[in-house]
A and B are shown apart, each in its own frame.
Chain A
Amino acid sequence: MNRQELRTIADQAKTKQAQYKHKVCVCCGAGCISSGSQAVLEKLQEEIKTRGMENEIEVVPSGCMGPCNQGPLVKIQPDQTIYQRVTCENIAQVVQSQLIEKRPIEELLLFADSRPKPFVNAMEDPFYKKQLKIVLENCGDINPEVIEDYIVCDGYKALDKALFQMSPEEVIAEIKQSRLRGRGGAGFPTGIKWETVHKYVADQKYVICNGDEGDPGAFMDRSVLEGNPHRVLEGMAIAGYAVGASKGYAYIRGEYPLAIKRFELAIKQARKLGILGVNILGSPFSFDVEVRIGAGAFVCGEETALVASIEGKRGTPRPRPPFPAESGLWNKPTLINNVETLASIAPIINRGGQWYGEIGTPKSAGTKVLALAGKIKYSGLIEVPMGMTLREIVFDIGGGVPDGKEFKAAQTGGPSGGCIPKEHLDVKVDYESLVSLGSIMGSGGLIIMDETSNMVDVARFFMEFCMDESCGKCVPCRVGTKMLYDLLCKVCNGQGTRKDLDMLEELAIYVKEASLCGLGMSAPNPLVSTLRYFKSEYEQQITKNAAVQGGTHG
């Protein structure tokens, strides 16, 4: 297929969509499906059919809409009305009242049970109003299983632009100008990474999409892959063009069957339309993508372990340098980008690096997708400009802590991150500010804890996770995390001593500095940060023990 034909498809799809009065999206992200949205979708389709309204109302499954714990969610377009906790029993009412009589159903509106006055246009609700959706712009509005739905929303326009109006160097310059940084957690400047891979001369180069999202409480990449797989695919193809790679791999964790299914479907559809394969859109550029499924190892999110896993070897990391940009998959120059990074590429090419660079803070440009979880009223998926304060995210968007409890800490960056206490609620959420507080941006998991959370136990939980996920290759991580975990258990069980506390601190620094890969290097972070902000809780556990022991001996 050539460029012209792509435009024809877009026009045809547009005309077809224009004939409908309403588009009804039923969220079929993993969260809503688990609360029964699939049945709601079928029931709704059936209802529309029975009433003979198929030509007026289009009912489609969509990706994640955001407020996951309010699901199943149903969105009515173009009114932007969202109904929450929709059941099959509500369907007739929704169709009759909303779609026929144009009367919104108050008690079913999004946040109807928690806001004094819910909004008919959900986008006016603070939950959405404070967000800025770039990566997630079409997520929840299109059917991720239909490529035409993506093409209508300017899909593959950026690829077309890159292939026919820009040189690879110009694409890289645009990404550099955008100041986009890797969204996997480390925040390495994407443009520089691309330039490095571009620079190496090799007969074969690779692009890898890292979808091995593994942090507990994080589901950003899953939602993007489920909700808009073509966006990621487009990012991969543009990346391939920019660095000179003809082959891409999407490494998606096996625990995300829906993401794998939809991404594989997206690849098939793109191949069929000539958007992937030989001479894409009639250009000289050829690129194809294959999916590789992770087998449940957290460490395979580390780039060198991921490469080993794709090569069919045991998923263990190796020392860097050499970095994958120089010698990665099968020792060829390899570009490895996170799902969210790749999903940010198309808008940057379409609207320019300058536009993107102006969003956010001077050092952290653009937006970040965050997964709100834990003790928060509205848990789910959000996207905010970098530099928004933690307070705004937790209280304005997330609705604060439920059940009248008090906010205690926010854990960012999962098992590699740290806890941010109440006194730092006004911290700007960007790469540098979080690091200065001893945490990290990480991949975007944000777990909120309330006053009932025991911080020593939190540290123990994450240490257990790292210990279980340590690959066992290097000594500091393999044995060190086990020792740290045992010591934390001892403290939690009220048997800790001051000596144990000293040993915890000594080992934590050792594991951090001596480990081979990012897993070990960051495994002590939750411990170190809870020691920094909540040392009194550790001390309490220890004095309790001292009192008990004193009692026994006396």
Chain B
Amino acid sequence: MAKIPVNIDGKSLEVESGKTILEVCKANDIEILTMCHLEGLGDIGACRLCLVEIEGINKLLPACTTKVAPNQVIKTKTEKLKKYQKITTELFFAERNHVCAVCVVNGNCELQDLGYKVGMTRVRFPYLFPKCEVDTSHPWYVMDHNRCILCTRCVRVCGEVEGSYNWGVMKRGVAARIISDFNTPWGESITCTSCSKCVNACPTGAIWPKAVVQGQFKKNPKMITELVEKRKMHL
């Protein structure tokens, strides 16, 4: 791969062309906040945490889907970006019912980590407190929509890696919901293989195994990344 010069946060770098800004930043120890991104899954640029400023482009672009171009001057930590990351995080918390104290992944949650990282001390926006379903119909797992942030990592891992396309999205806007098959209870799904990939891909306590209590469950999203890598090697 040809090398191209870019400048990120004032640092001049020689990076591989064809890579995304996120990949380049990772390779060079520049931290980019992410949520809908999971190494190994297709990127969708939806959470907007990884937005960066690029000189000469009047829009903020997501690092996960934007490829580096020669002589790009990229900024990842401006005051504006930090402010927006904080608002995005606050909106995540305000949207559904995230009560850490009673959550199975309390202490091991990507959303909780994000809150600490952006220095969120409270949510300034009014909580929406939507009425959300908890689907316990699956024999082993629970889908708790109260804790879902619609990152669609479950949807993508199920389709792209497991290939069973159990998960999907229905409705739109704040009414959007992750659904199993055509909105049937998860336990009645005819496509789910109970492979647990979505459980590990999910960044919050929205999908979890039944036999755990609060604060006791640690997810392993790396498993997905490794699995995808291994499959590539196998091919």
A-to-B contact residues, CB < 8 Å: 297, 299, 314, 318-319, 321, 467-476, 478-483, 486, 503, 506-507, 510, 513-516, 521
Contacts and interface: CB of A to CB of B under 8 A. Distances in A.
A476 B48 contact: yes
B87 A507 contact: yes
Contacts of B169: 314, 472
Q: Which interface residue of B65, B124, B173 has the most chain A CB atoms within 10 A? A: B173
B45 A319 contact: yes
A480 B174 contact: no
A516 B88 contact: no
15 contacts: A318-B65, A319-B44, A467-B173, A472-B173, A473-B44, A474-B45, A475-B91, A475-B149, A476-B48, A478-B150, A479-B128, A510-B83, A514-B87, A514-B88, A516-B62
A486 B84 CA distance: 20
Contacts of A514: 48, 51, 60, 84, 87-88
Interface in B140-154: 149-150
Given A470-B174, A471-B173, A480-B91, 15 more contacts: A297-B172, A469-B172, A469-B173, A470-B172, A472-B169, A472-B171, A472-B172, A474-B45, A474-B46, A475-B88, A476-B48, A479-B94, A479-B128, A483-B125, A483-B126
Nearest to A319: B45
A483 B48 contact: no
A479 B91 contact: yes
Contact of A471 (B84, B124, B128, B172): B172
A514 B85 CA distance: 9
Nearest to B169: A314
A375 B89 CA distance: 42
A515 B60 CA distance: 9
Contacts of B149: 475
| Residues of A contacting B: mostly | helix
A299 B171 CA distance: 13
A475 B51 CA distance: 12
5 A-B pairs closest in CB distance: A472-B176, A319-B45, A479-B91, A470-B173, A319-B65
B186 interface: no
A214 to B, nearest CB: 13
A469 B168 CA distance: 19
Contacts of B150: 472-473, 478
A513 B174 contact: no
A478 B173 contact: yes
A510 to B, nearest CB: 5
A471 B175 CA distance: 9
Given A472-B173, A472-B176, A319 B66 contact: yes
B117 interface: no
Contacts of B39: none
